[in-house]
Structure 1
Amino acid sequence: MLLKLTGSSGAGKTTLAFAVTGRLDGAVVHEFDEVGVPDPPIPPHWRNRMTEVWVRRALEYQVRGLDLVLSGNAPLGEILAAPSAPLLNGIAVCLIDVADQDRRDRLAARDGGRWDRAATDAFCGWAAWHRGHARDPRFRPDVVIDGSWPEMAWDRWTTWTADDPRWRTHLIDTSGRPLATSVDQVERWVTEQREAHRSGRLALARGWADETPGPTDHDG
């Protein structure tokens, strides 16, 4: 299955993903940007296409009996719209979030202070959109849909509502918390989602794109 840690820059998702690497049997960890990032302005099709690349990578691991823990910016809606997403045997998404000032402080200390005020404002705005998207599929879908790669199948979820059991993004807020605490939370979330999949309780198990939703205990 694909276990996606999403969110805007500066929340700590990649740090957390790699921190749990040695704790998870039968799982591999990757970072979305490993495939290389084009110079700004980054075309919207790039993230869509690379999301499909990673979904296919997850399918390769799936054949080998391995789960993929992937950190990166792509939110739940983009994962579900990727052309090959319905072939995955399970999907779970966790939003790694942090307070805006913490995000600004982390970005200021990162990469030699390369991010100016406009860039950090944009990251905070992207974080706010992530929060809204995690709560409700009807929150500003245009942000990811407009100008997107034509192969994306947005209609798989654009008629869903916030109470659809398939629309679930778990939240881990790293604001003011020791790294070890957040690492434990990520490990627990991954473990719970894998157990939900094994026991048939995962809402986004294979077939989610074709079935009428019913009651689920998705978040354990």
Structure 2
Amino acid sequence: MLLTLAGSSCSGKTTLADALRTRMQGLVVHDHDEIGVPENADTRWRHRTTELWIGRALEYQSRGLDLLLTGQSPLGEILASPSAPLLDGIAVCLVDVADNERRRRLGARDRDRWSSAVLDAFIAWGAWHRGHAQDPRYRPNVITDGGWPEMCWDRWSAWTKDDPRWHTHLLDTTGRSIDRSVDHLAQWITQQRGASRSGQLALSNGRWLTD
């Protein structure tokens, strides 16, 4: 199955995923951007690359392995990716952090690399992720406009926030230790894998296309 840690920058996704690499059996960990990010990276590039990673997830799936992928792609982009229905299961966790803490972390990590406007964009992207996680009808144009033409948005565009298939787990790392957050994610992954094996996972085996 594919498990993703999504969200805006400096929420802790990479740090937490790295800590899980040797902790869980049968789980491989990758970052969306590790294959390289072009200078002109845009929404269309993110969509195409997400589909590439789903292809990798399917390769791992054929070997009995699950993929934990960190990146910026929210649930709506995963579900709209052409090959998503071929996955045994899909589970998304939004790794989030309070706006002021995200701004502080960005400043500490990158020093004076970003302008105030760019920092504001990171904050706005994080806020959008929160809205999208709760409601599929929250400003979908943010990810659909200018996107890759192969994306299948109609798979979920009619869903409402009460649809059980629309679920993103939330981990807020504000004020949490790394160890505590890693424990939380390990428990979440175990639960999602168990639900997938037992047929209780809402996003499994393409059933979510017709339910």
Normalized against structure 2, the TM-score is what? 0.97
2:209 & 2:169 partners in 1: Cα distance?
23
State the AA in 2 paired with 1:182: S
Q: Which residue of 2 aligns with 1:30?
A: 30
Matches within 5 A, 1:4-153: 4-39=4-39, 41-153=40-152
Q: Which residue of 1 aligns with 2:185?
A: 186
Report 1 or 2 for greater relative contact order, CA contacts < 8 Å, sequence distance ≥ 6: 2
Q: Which residue of 1 aligns with 2:176?
A: 177
Q: Which residue of 2 aligns with 1:201?
A: 200
What is the SS of the residue equivalent to 1:109?
Answer: helix
State the AA in 2 paired with 1:170: H
2:209 & 2:81 partners in 1: Cα distance?
15
Contact 1:11/1:174 (8 A) holds in 2: yes
What is the SS of the residue equivalent to 1:92?
Answer: strand
Contact 1:107/1:113 (8 A) holds in 2: no
State the AA in 2 paired with 1:98: V
Contact 2:165/2:208 (8 A) holds in 1: no
- Tell me by how many angstroms 1:112 deviates: 4.2
2:208 & 2:88 partners in 1: Cα distance?
12
2:7 & 2:78 partners in 1: Cα distance?
13
Contact 1:166/1:208 (8 A) holds in 2: no
What is the SS of the residue equivalent to 2:207?
Answer: coil
1:73 & 1:194 partners in 2: Cα distance?
22
Instruction: Give the 4+ runs in structure 1 shifted more than 6 A.
Output: none
What is the SS of the residue equivalent to 1:70?
Answer: strand
Cα deviation per residue 1:175-213 (whole Å; 9 max; x = unaligned)? 01111111111111111100111111100001234332x
Q: Which residue of 2 aligns with 1:216?
A: none
Cα deviation per residue 1:34-69 (whole Å; 9 max; x = unaligned)? 011111x52221000000000000000000000000
Contact 1:52/1:84 (8 A) holds in 2: yes
State the AA in 1 paired with 2:184: Q
Normalized against structure 1, the TM-score is what? 0.93
Contact 2:9/2:122 (8 A) holds in 1: yes
More divergent stretch after superposition (26-35 vs 200-209): 200-209
State the AA in 1 paired with 2:27: A
What is the SS of the residue equivalent to 1:22?
Answer: coil
Query: Please, what is the CA RMSD of the aligned residues?
Result: 1.0
Contact 2:47/2:81 (8 A) holds in 1: yes
1:175 & 1:43 partners in 2: Cα distance?
28
State the AA in 2 paired with 1:52: E
- Tell me by how many angstroms 1:111 deviates: 3.3
1:191 & 1:113 partners in 2: Cα distance?
40
Unaligned runs of 5+ in 1: 213-220
Unaligned runs of 5+ in 2: none
State the AA in 1 paired with 2:177: P
2:42 & 2:108 partners in 1: Cα distance?
27
State the AA in 2 paired with 1:198: R
What is the SS of the residue equivalent to 1:69?
Answer: strand
